Amino acid sequence: MLINCVSYQNGVKLADLPVEEISDYLERTDCFVWVALRDATDAELEKMQEEFGLHDLAVEDAHHGHQRPKIEEYGDTLFLVMHLVEIVNSEMAVGEVSVFAGRNFILSVRNRSSQNFLGVRERCEREPELLQLGSGFVLYALMDAVVDRYFPVINDLESELESIEEHLFDKGAALTNIEQLYKLKRKVVVLKHAVLPLMEATGKLHGGRVPPVCATTQEYFRDVYDHLTRINATIDAIRDTITTAILVCQSTVSIEQNEVNKRLAAWAGAGIWGMNFQHMPELKLEYGYPLALLVIGAICGFLYYRFKRSGWL
């Protein structure tokens, strides 16, 4: 579905274009075209390929989706795939956006995601002095928007981890904790798959040899790269902590078991007075029974007290 198809000159919107005129505008050196598609059909993509002269392999990737995030050069054109990650009903939902960026055009194709980029276009149009940097700046603006949306996701994951940590040493909570940690780890892996490949690819858009589209906006791409590095480091820290936390859960289970066993040992004392020896004088005492109960209870209580003091409960 076509969302927008607009041409810009000197950072200012020129006109909404019918799709057929795109190639005409591309021949002009003084303006660039920015097209946005959503869940594009075969026909739409074919039309775009024709108008922009895109490479077969890239179009195929944009069409089939389920790509790894990546940045590829096809001649002068840059082809970029990013994952759109949201948390919907506490599940990760992963969409995809493919961007083709040429000297004087930007084509974005969004798949399986409710996140849109209308805000990006508006913000760009409000800053013509930046927008006139051309397609490189639009590419940056799109990347920046995608990456900025990773931050709330990672914050969600972090606070999920923290809420598990609060109950990490709670008695009897080990199973719930482990289950939640396992699910959390699965989510973290999904985010990692969105971030790490994109980070590696973005690292090639600044410093050293750079695709021509990005030449004038290197510092902006370094900024995106920097954000991705930060997210990636946080992801790694979360993963590491999850592993340690599972280990800790295992230990608390064993320690709890120890306590149960010790109390079991106390009850075993009752066996003493169940022996059938003929000469067991305490059995004849009037208060022998309550005393025995007291002794058993006292031992249990003492173990419980020591256990509690050592920080468990």
Examine residue 263 and tell whether it contacts a second copy (CB under 8 A): yes
Binding pattern to a second copy, positions 176-205, x when CB under 8 A?
x-xx--x--xx--x---x---x--------
Examine residue 237 and tell whether it contacts a second copy (CB under 8 A): yes
Examine residue 304 and tell whether it contacts a second copy (CB under 8 A): no
Examine residue 247 and tell whether it contacts a second copy (CB under 8 A): yes
CB of 29 to a second copy, least distance (A): 26
CB of 284 to a second copy, least distance (A): 5
**Listed ranges 7-15, 26-34, 82-90, 260-268: which one lies at the site for a second copy (CB under 8 A):** 260-268
Interaction residues for a second copy, span 7-26 (CB under 8 A): none
Examine residue 113 and tell whether it contacts a second copy (CB under 8 A): no
CB of 224 to a second copy, least distance (A): 10
Report the residue number, 18 or 311, with the smaller CB distance to a second copy: 311
Interaction residues for a second copy, span 46-65 (CB under 8 A): 55, 57
**Listed ranges 11-19, 101-109, 110-118, 305-313: which one lies at the site for a second copy (CB under 8 A):** 305-313
Of 12, 265, 294, 298, the one binding a second copy (CB under 8 A) is 265
**DSSP assignment of the chain, as one string?**
-EEEEEEEETTEEEEEPPGGGHHHHHH-SSEEEEEEEES--HHHHHHHHHHHT--HHHHHHHHH--PPPEEEEETTEEEEEEEEEEEETTEEEEEEEEEEEETTEEEEEEES-S---HHHHHHHHH-HHHHTT-HHHHHHHHHHHHHHTHHHHHHHHHHHHHHHHHTTT-TT-HHHHHHHHHHHHHHHHHHHHHHHHHHHHHGGGSSSS--GGGGGGHHHHHHHHHHHHHHHHHHHHHHHHHHHHHHHHHHHHHHHHHHHHHHHHHHHGGGGGG---S--GGGGSTTHHHHHHHHHHHHHHHHHHHHHHTT--
CB of 38 to a second copy, least distance (A): 24
